[in-house]
Structure 1
Amino acid sequence: MDNKDEAKSSREIVNVPPILSIYRHALRTFDDNFKFEFTTNLGKLKTMMDTLRAEDLGFDKSLNNPGTWEKPNKAPCTYIEVIQNSKMNMSIFVLKPGFKMPLHDHPHMHGLLKVIAGAVRIRSFSEYPLKEAANEIDFAARAKHEAARLAHGVHKRRRLFAKVSNDSVCSANAHTCVLTPTVSNYHEIEALEMPAAFFDILAPPYDTLIEGIGPRRCRYYHVANEISTNLVELQETEVPKCFYCDQAPYLGPILA
């Protein structure tokens, strides 16, 4: 390679858009072929997302304008799909000032959330006591029990104890929040006095199959009982009628 070709190659590496680098690394992170590197790759993915900016995603600045959210019939939340495949979903959510995305779960999923505009209060919970599968046999037994319960039409709404794992205000200069299948798997997100937007990655996506149970379904909850300052009882509820979205196009770099 001569000097001209080497300089061109260096420029190409430097000019890779941050979101494309994040996408490529996320593919590796959530690929079962690299499962023994998962913890390291997840940590690197979080670090890469820590510096992500609205400009890197081609974010429509008009969505930052409070006037946009005062229009008649405007949904309280705008959803922007960045990309989705069998391994993960990458998207942007924009919330109107003062709107709270209801408390919900992420069944057997990992997630990363980075605020890119405005500020939000994030309140997250972990099931208590922590019920992490000790091994594959234990997990299979739990999955079989859940599948049988659903197959027999026994769908009593879930009620569980949960410990507050995070309760903080995050702005665009805050670090990325991470949830796992057991830690911070339940959360609610509230925009403050201005519109707020966050980019997130969920893996696997909702509706993908959990072996022995069925599709991953998002369930909603409310705090039925505050036992102490950091321990609550959650009750599954119907999808809140206040929560609905319109959609906007993704305007950032093409991911491939």
Structure 2
Amino acid sequence: MPVQIGGGKVSEPRTRVDLSPTAVGDKARASSRKKSRNKKKAPAATSAAPVLPMQRLFDTSREVFLESSPGFVPPPDAVARLAALLNDLKPHDVGIDPCMPCFKHNDSKGPPQVTYLHFYDCSKFSFGIFCLPKSGVIPLHNHPGMTVFSKILFGSMYLKSYDWAKSLPDSSTNALENSDGTRLAKVNTDDAFDDSSETIVLYPENGGNLHCFTALTPCAVLDVMGPPYNRADGRDCAYYSEAPYSSSCGGDNQFSWLKEIPSTFEMKGIQMVRKFVA
């Protein structure tokens, strides 16, 4: 089955990439009894092996989203802990670099294809990396009932995000929602970010729950989402068009009308083979 990821349908993964540590080969047997007799036992380990960055990300995400359900917001200290861990992640920690084919736009006839490297998902949370070539776009979409952590690992991108408006910006006769399904939203973020930027966190009702990405350079974004999208539970990803808001006093660039639209946006999915210790 195709992996269901926010921001677009993910095509059936055709590639499995094994990022597990290379197995160490068996040692050659001693060729003589003398060598066997003189062979010394390896000293016992005095300390535990260091926890790899991706295992640490799995452990922390599992703790933060232990009670995850639609609308769940982790407590502030948990948000700070996971965000700090993501802030410290580097591309080599997750096994990627800008020279990988998924960051290049080789087809001049169509828009750059976005690739999703899928590492893990369960009913509580998921995480993976969105790989965008220069000018690659993830269209405006939502995250129903979700808390999402996004960290740019390298490159730069333009981010525009909205939250649904809770009140009208003026005393006009406009409503928050029109009969044709358009709904008023307020701009949360409208700026460029790069790998020096700290982790961006959006919440079920605020923080820029509806957002779109446009890659200014080849870039990689690691997302941790909880709970993940679930079509069976009615929490599928929706896409939106934007139209300017205007009132009797003129335009207001802090608000836009958003309308849900069909989308043919698809990403290439690559299932990463990574074993995590629960």
Work out whether the TM-score is over 0.5.
yes
2:221 is aligned to 198
Q: Does 1:254 align with 2:254?
A: no
CA distance in 2, matches of 1:88, 1:208: 15
CA distance in 1, matches of 2:82, 2:133: 28
Of 105, 128, 142, the residue aligned with 1:69 is: 105
Query: Helix, strand or coil: the match of 2:184?
Result: strand
Give the gaps of 5 or more residues in structure 2.
1-42, 168-178, 247-251
Task: Output aligned runs, 1:176-215, within 5 Å.
Answer: 176-183=199-206, 184-192=208-216, 194-207=217-230, 214-215=233-234
User: How far 1:18 sits from its partner (Å)?
Assistant: 2.0
User: How far 1:20 sits from its partner (Å)?
Assistant: 1.5
Query: Helix, strand or coil: the match of 2:253?
Result: coil
1:30 is aligned to 65
Task: Output aligned runs, 1:97-246, within 5 Å.
Answer: 97-129=134-166, 158-183=181-206, 184-192=208-216, 194-207=217-230, 214-227=233-246, 228-239=252-263, 241=264, 243-246=265-268
CA distance in 2, matches of 1:99, 1:157: 30
* 8 Å Cα contact 1:64-1:117 kept in structure 2: no
Q: Which amino acid aligns with 2:275?
A: I
Q: Deviations over 1:209-238 (max 9, x none)?
A: 6xxxx3211000011223412111111111
Q: Which amino acid aligns with 1:16?
A: V
Please list every run of at least 4 consecutive aligned residues from structure 1 whose deviation after the TM superposition is greater than 3 angstroms.
4-7, 71-75
* 8 Å Cα contact 2:102-2:132 kept in structure 1: no
TM-score norm. by structure 2 comes to 0.69
CA distance in 2, matches of 1:42, 1:101: 25
| Identity fraction in percent | 23
1:140 is aligned to none
Give the gaps of 5 or more residues in structure 1.
131-155
User: How far 1:73 sits from its partner (Å)?
Assistant: 8.0
CA distance in 2, matches of 1:254, 1:72: 37
Q: Deviations over 1:92-129 (max 9, x none)?
A: 11112112210000001110101112111111111111
User: How far 1:185 sits from its partner (Å)?
Assistant: 0.6
* 8 Å Cα contact 1:120-1:190 kept in structure 2: yes
Of 49, 52, 56, the residue aligned with 1:21 is: 56
Query: Helix, strand or coil: the match of 2:242?
Result: strand
CA distance in 1, matches of 2:97, 2:108: 20
User: How far 1:91 sits from its partner (Å)?
Assistant: 0.9
User: How far 1:174 sits from its partner (Å)?
Assistant: 1.1
How many pairs does the alignment contain? Answer: 214
User: How far 1:254 sits from its partner (Å)?
Assistant: 3.3
Of 41, 63, 80, the residue aligned with 2:78 is: 41
Q: What value does the CA root-mean-square deviation take over the aligned residues?
A: 2.7
Q: 1:26 to 1:72 in 2, by over 3 A?
A: same
Q: Which amino acid aligns with 2:56?
A: S
Specify which structure has the higher proportion of helix: 1
* 8 Å Cα contact 2:65-2:74 kept in structure 1: no
Q: Deviations over 1:9-43 (max 9, x none)?
A: 3xx2xx2122221211111111129x897332122
TM-score norm. by structure 1 comes to 0.74
Bigger shift: 36-45 or 23-32? 36-45
Q: 1:36 to 1:49 in 2, by over 3 A?
A: closer
Q: Deviations over 1:192-224 (max 9, x none)?
A: 1x2211010111111166xxxx32110000112
